[in-house]
Chain A
Amino acid sequence: MATHSNQIPKDLVWEILAKLSVKSLKRFSCVHKSWLNLLENSDFKSIYYENLKSKTAYSSSLLLWRYFHDERSDRHIYENEVYLLSGERYENMVTLVLPNLFEEIGFDRIIDCVNGIICHYKKAGLNVKIGLWDPKTDEHKIIPPSIITNDPDFDAEVEIHGFGYDNVNDDYKVIQHICYCHNEFYQYEPALANWQIYSLKSNCWKKLNLEMTEKGGFGEGYVTYLNGVCHWRGGDKNGKEVLVSFNLSTETFRTTLIGWQQSDDIDCLTRTLVVLNDSVALISSFDENSHIEISILGEVGVKESWVKLFTVGPFPYIWHPMVMGNKCDIIFFMGNENHELASFDVISGKDFETPKPTSVPPGITEDEPGFDRRKLDLEMTKREHIDNASIAYLNGVCHWWGSEYATNGLEEEQVLVSFNLSTETFQTTSIVWLQENDDSPIRSLVVLNKSVTLIFSFTKNNRIEISIWVKLV
């Protein structure tokens, strides 16, 4: 081609350029004027997306975790759920139970999952424990405590910033930041704050003599790991949002500004840091019109190399966390009542079409033959507790008990709902019994002798009462 008189036609050139990384594309935009801003050309973009899709590696399974307030229960419970998704269409969803780090009630969180190893931690007040867990072998290691300056006036606050694999030294490392807060005046003492790194090989913490921007929040979406580098985002001293990229082997870092021209994006913006096609990417979701933008960082340290690759939406509702799936799709929890999981193909949905997520309710596979869900237009009392003691099945009828307000609107009465599976109708029966109100029995619904039975066990005097329903009214 060097001495050939002809040039390669444009469409073939595009085929070649579409295989390059964003970083190379930006660099080569200096070669020819028509190569400038190629990613803004929709024709080129479609070829680029196709390459992206085929390049995206298929990993065997995906870890998804979320931390949410369970609105169904009346107690203020924060549920922590960890799922392992696998399968072509994420049809296999397994709930993982993290090993317990200590007994106190606290917040269980996951930092990241690298090479199948999950780094999780638990905080209860000032007590923090970090663990490394391999769910496949069930090996669990609790990391030894950090280096803490014992000062009676100050409380140490630990914030874990990253977990990753140092491919140069074949080692797993954890990065954390410790700051000290005066327990009386609630002021931070910057002189005491420090960064520490833990190495699995040496099994100890080491102080780092570095000044890095801390991560901007505690939720998901602030940290990610890619190829031996831990990334996190936060606000620097000037209030600008930056990305810190910490190289685990050299133990040095680089900062990249996350700069966007929009001035109105500050209020309704939620961001998630992810990995897409071997680059760090930011998913920004704008609450106002539920659009999502995905921008990829071409080169760490170069703020101009942020390229907005996708704009998708609007979504009817979106909820966090979001994870990049295997095939250039975003997986997120729909903010509806059922907290269903949805997977949205970013490439095909790029033209602002109404997304058609493949909704995967936990535990149900769509491929089950004859599987059919229909809405029932009935008003029935919900069951009282989410445990197996409140439901029973007998002869084609499902029974459960719950409480509803009596017709006079004052008292709560217990009812038994009997739902006939064939006619798809239901009957309600009041559960009446004579006893004092402050006797709080624990009830179980069972089947005994071909009838529905309620077992009451009274905590006050440890007696058990069994009532059998002989006839349903």
Chain B
Amino acid sequence: MELLCIRQWISGLLPTWLSAWCIKPVGGALVRQEPEYILLALMGSPLKKIMLCSSEKEIFSVEEQVMVQHSVIINNMIEDGSYNHEESKIPLDCVDSKTLKKVIDYCTHHTHHHNDNQEDLEAWDAQFLNVDSNGLYDLLMAANYLEIRNLLDLIYGTIKNMIKGKKIDEIRRIFNIKDHGFTPEEEEQNRKEYPHFY
């Protein structure tokens, strides 16, 4: 086959997000890197999957690239070689199945749709976080554990909006604060001084 045909054939095989990788800036201009070289360099890993194991011992299979892009923890594990592709699974004892599935969902969507426009992504995020407070808490802890920066920031932003302008008692409920740490006298003093906060 002629080189040109081979190129087109290989380009056709690649998923769109990998084709996007074939563009790199060279001297200020964006140049298409020959896809066949990229493919050779990556030798089988783009569609490689890894196994994540939830606290309930359920195994989830997910594309390696997806998790590596989002989770610093998983990225480090793969890079330092502590994860053996053939047989290992990554145990995530702090994350239950329901939450893990959601986290994988988030990472997968953002990897595959990173070229979407901002509005669509934000709409998807808003829908994604339409969960009850337990679910939000679980997601927060999972994102923190796995060190997924953009999911963390998203959740922080959501919580910030939740507490803005709320009364003190409501905030204590949201943060599940049973003991506010003030002495009864201090608490009374606060309530007297700022009644509109309560």
Contacts and interface: CB of A to CB of B under 8 A. Distances in A.
A19 interface: yes
Nearest to A19: B160
Contacts of A34: 181
Interface stretch (B25-33, B59-67, B163-171): B163-171
Contacts of A136: none
B180 A7 contact: no
A6 B156 contact: no
10 contacts: A5-B176, A16-B163, A27-B194, A28-B163, A28-B171, A30-B168, A30-B197, A31-B172, A32-B172, A34-B181
B8 interface: no
Nearest to B193: A30
Q: Is the interface of B mostly helix, strand, loop or mixed?
A: helix
Interface in B123-162: 133-134, 136-137, 140, 144, 152, 156-157, 159-160
Given A1-B134, A4-B137, A31-B168, A13 B176 contact: no
> Which 8 residue pairs are nearest across A and B when measured between Cβ atoms?
A33-B181, A1-B133, A1-B137, A2-B133, A30-B190, A4-B137, A19-B160, A31-B171
B197 A7 contact: no
B77 interface: no
Contacts of A24: 164
Nearest to B138: A4
A12 interface: yes
Given A1-B134, A2-B174, A27-B194, 18 more contacts: A2-B134, A3-B133, A3-B134, A4-B134, A4-B137, A5-B176, A7-B177, A9-B144, A15-B152, A16-B156, A19-B160, A28-B163, A30-B168, A31-B175, A31-B180, A32-B172, A32-B175, A34-B181
Contact of B181 (A6, A19, A32): A32
A13 B133 CA distance: 15
B134 A13 contact: no
Contacts of A30: 168, 190, 194, 197-198
Contacts of B197: 27, 30
Nearest to B189: A30
Given A1-B137, A1-B175, A4-B134, A32 B156 contact: no
Nearest to B190: A30
B98 to A, nearest CB: 14
A68 to B, nearest CB: 42
Contacts of B156: 15-16, 19
A30 B164 CA distance: 14
Contacts of B163: 16, 28
A20 interface: yes
Chain A interface size, as a band, is: 20 to 34
B139 to A, nearest CB: 11
A4 B174 CA distance: 10
A9 B172 CA distance: 14
Interface in B41-100: none
Contacts of B180: 31-33
Contact of A8 (B134, B140, B168, B182): B140
A91 B139 CA distance: 44
A384 B156 CA distance: 64
A3 B134 CA distance: 7
A1 B176 contact: yes
A62 to B, nearest CB: 27
Contacts of B136: 1
A2 B164 contact: no
A13 B175 contact: yes
B160 to A, nearest CB: 5
Interface string A14-56: 0110011000100110111110000000000000000000000
Contacts of B174: 1-2
Nearest to A11: B144
A24 B163 CA distance: 9
A371 B156 CA distance: 46
A383 B120 CA distance: 65
Q: Which of A8, A20, A28, A31 has the most CB of B within 10 A?
A: A31
B181 A7 contact: no
